[in-house]
Structure formats: C-alpha cells, structure tokens
C-alpha cells in the first residue's frame, strides 16, 4: 500500500489547487466575465468595484455578470480598451498582481478551440479569472536495466513566482498567437539548452487542468503535458537564468519530493500525472487513486 502520509499530502495539494470548486469558496460571489454573451472568466467582487468607473469599457454588473461594452466590437478594440484600464489600475491601485507586469499577451476565449476575443496582459488574467494555458515537459531517462529517472529543475531564486522551488525540466505559458509545439521547443531551448532536434521528439500525452483562488484572484489553468525521453548521456544546461540547477533523480525520489513544500504546486501535479500514466501510482495500492485522477482533470 502507498504511505498514507504521502497520499494525504497529495490529496491536500489537489484540493488546494482546486479550491475554487470547494464549498465556501469565492465562486458564488464572483461575477461572470462575459464578452458578446460568452463567459470567459470570473471577476471577484473587489475587482468588479474597481471597474465600475470605466463605463465606456465595462457594463455595470447585472444578473451576476460583468460584460465588455458592446461598442467594443472587435479583437483589437477590446484588447486596447481593457489594456488602457489595466495601465491605469497598475498606477493607481493596490492590486499586487499588477506589480508583476510582464508585457506578455495571453488570449482570452471561452474554450481553447475557440477564436480569441481579445488579448490581456498575463499579470492581470487572475483579476478576470481568464483561463491560462501552458506547456510542461517531463524530461526523463531509461537506463539499460529499465529504470526511469526524471530531470527536475530548481527555479531561480529571483523568479517572480515560486522562487527556488522544484519544477518540471522545462515549462512556459502559452502566449497569444504562439503554437503549442513552438512554445515547447522555445522553452526547452531557452530554459534547458535542449536543441530543437531533441525537443521535437517530445510526445503530447495529457492535459492537467485545475482552478484555484487566492488573494490575487482566480486561476483557471490548463497545461499541455509532454513526455520527452532524453539520451542517457544528455544533460540539460542552464539557459536564460530562470533555472539555477538541474537534477536527475530516481523516480521514487521524485515521488517522495511531491509530498513536500519544495515543489511548485502545478508542476507537482504534472509529475503526479506522469507517475499515474507510467504505473508508479496504481489503483490496487493507492486508496485515493480516483481522487488523484479527478483532481488532475477539473474543468469549469
């Protein structure tokens, strides 16, 4: 049987990363964020109150929703109008997430398969509960005797989010107009100095989806997950400075680390998905197997 202590800690991680679904969450008090009648996010009450002066961009809250004004009838006009509001809030308000302004554009759309309705600054997406997408790569090796080890990265101590914590070998957010495979190759090259001819061999294997809330807003996220088997003689190298060190660890050690506070939470979920898919976590020995699988694939 799996260690009950390990199992309980993983269950706690999944509940924390899906706390928007739990009884007592802020979901019931959030306003739906709508564009042309389609919901694209969730706006907490304190954010909705900050938007009320901007009547030429946001309609007053009604029937549980905050909408963009219908006069903003196209992608560019919506994007530019909202960005102007955010630039003002960035200067005037105490919204902590806007202090981390990145000048990165994320697409805003109801579903991944839909055409984007506008773009929004990455740092502001949690204020509107806009769904964010990313790409995560599990780098691993298989020894001559068949033992699997995984490459983990330790994030730079100067990273804006989760500094110094363990992470997947490479990962990154999916910017507006950027393809998934393009992002995968870019992040592998920039973060781990993995050449494109190796990175291109990564296999799409899963998505990991969850929604959590904290003081900075609502975070509905979905990660496109890839597995990349690396040659035994290949070692990732520090690239753009977002990583301070790489480790090649036996899979049992990786499993043990998942239950500590040393792991970036969503990356721990991606590794848990790897462990399940490769039968390192099995239903006969893991009492919370179903809860684990469900917790990795929650969608609004």
Q: Would you say 216 and 126 are in contact if contact means Cβ atoms under 8 Å apart?
A: yes
How much is the pTM?
0.94
Q: Are residues 241 and 112 in the same domain?
A: no
- The proportion of the chain whose per-residue pLDDT surpasses 90, expressed as a percent, equals 92
pLDDT tens, position by position, 230-258: 999 999 999 988 899 999 999 999 999 99
- Shared domain check, 164 and 119: no
Domain housing 40: 26-128
State the pLDDT at residue 2: 52
The upper half-sphere exposure of residue 90, i.e. CA atoms within 13 Å in the direction of its Cβ, equals 16
Domain check: are 163 and 267 in the same one?
yes
CA separation for the pair 285, 46 (Å, rounded)? 45
Residue 1's pLDDT is: 44
Same domain, 100 and 203: no
> How buried is 184 (Cβ within 10 angstroms: 0-12 exposed, 13-18 middle, 19+ buried)?
buried
284: pLDDT strictly greater than 70: yes
Residues 166 and 119 in one domain: no
Q: Rounded to an integer, what distance in angstroms lies between the CA atom of residue 151 and that of residue 295?
A: 24
Domain holding 36: CATH number?
A: 3.30.750.160
**Of 4, 77, 31, 8, the residue nearest 218 (C-alpha):** 31
Please tell me whether residues 235 and 105 are part of one structural domain.
no
Please tell me whether residues 267 and 204 are part of one structural domain. yes
Please say which residue of 77, 100, 128 terminates a domain.
128
156 and 124 inside one domain: no
Query: Is the domain of 164 the same as that of 272?
Result: yes
Number of domains in the chain: 2
Residues 271 and 248 in one domain: yes
Q: For 17-64, write each residue's pLDDT tens digit.
A: 999 999 999 999 999 999 999 999 999 999 999 999 999 999 999 999
Q: Roughly how many angstroms between the first and final C-alpha of the chain, as a whole number?
A: 33
Place of tokens 């004004």: 69
**Quick one: tokens of 243?**
């990583």
300 in a domain, yes or no?
no
241 and 170 both lie in a single domain: yes
Domain co-membership, 140 together with 269: yes
**Residue 169's domain is classified under what CATH number?**
3.90.79.10
Secondary element (H or E) of residue 223? strand 217-229
Domain boundary pick from 78, 96, 128: 128
């Amino acid at each position: 049987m799996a260690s009950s202590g390990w199992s309980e800690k993983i269950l706690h991680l999944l509940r924390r990363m899906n706390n928007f679904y739990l009884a007592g969450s802020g979901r019931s008090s959030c306003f739906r964020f709508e564009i042309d009648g389609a919901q694209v996010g969730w706006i907490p009450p304190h954010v909705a109150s900050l938007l009320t002066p901007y009547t030429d961009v946001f309609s007053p809250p009604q029937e549980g929703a905050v909408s963009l004004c219908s006069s903003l009838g196209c992608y560019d006009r919506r994007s530019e109008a909202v960005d102007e509001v955010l630039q003002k809030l960035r200067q005037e308000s105490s919204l902590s997430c806007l202090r981390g302004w990145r000048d990165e554009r994320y697409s805003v759309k109801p579903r991944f398969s839909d055409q984007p309705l506008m773009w929004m600054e990455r740092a502001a997406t949690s204020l509107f509960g806009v769904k964010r997408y990313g790409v995560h790569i599990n780098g691993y090796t298989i020894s001559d005797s068949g033992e699997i080890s995984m490459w983990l990265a330790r994030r730079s101590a100067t990273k804006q989010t989760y500094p110094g914590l363990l992470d997947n070998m490479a990962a990154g957010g999916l910017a507006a107009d950027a393809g998934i495979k393009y992002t995968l190759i870019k992040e592998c090259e920039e973060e781990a100095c993995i050449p494109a001819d190796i990175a291109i061999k990564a296999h799409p294997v899963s998505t990991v989806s969850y929604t959590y809330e904290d003081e900075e807003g609502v975070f509905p996220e979905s990660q496109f997950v890839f597995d990349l088997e690396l040659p035994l003689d290949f070692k990732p190298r520090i690239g753009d400075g977002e990583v301070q060190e790489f480790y090649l660890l036996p899979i049992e050690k990786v499993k043990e680390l998942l239950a500590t506070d040393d792991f970036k939470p969503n990356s721990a979920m991606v590794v848990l998905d790897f462990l399940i898919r490769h039968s390192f976590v099995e239903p006969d020995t893991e009492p919370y197997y179903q809860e684990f699988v469900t917790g990795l694939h929650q969608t609004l």
